[in-house]
Amino acid sequence: MIEIILSVITAITSIIAIAISIKTLKQNNLMIESSSRPYIQIYGIKTDLGFPSYTLVIKNFGQSSGTIKSLKSN
């Protein structure tokens, strides 16, 4: 009788440990994806070296490369 109870407790503990591991792996995957995502920003710089000019800068602040497929402006 005691062996059956211990077997059930061991099985429940194993199932809980597997569920925790799966949840941890999913959270880890989201964190890795978020930290390695490209963050492309567009901003302007105004310079005045005798004549005023405005430069448009496109910069990636993320950890991985990004691809700009299209760019539209008004």
* Segment holding 44, helix H or strand E: strand 40-48
Structure confidence by residue, pLDDT tens digits, 19-74:
999 999 999 999 988 888 888 898 999 988 888 899 989 998 888 888 888 888 77
Task: Find all residues with CB under 8 Å of 4, minimum gap 6, and list them.
Answer: none
What predicted TM-score, i.e. pTM, was given to this entire model?
Answer: 0.55
Residue-averaged pLDDT of the chain: 90
45 near 54, Cβ under 8 Å? yes
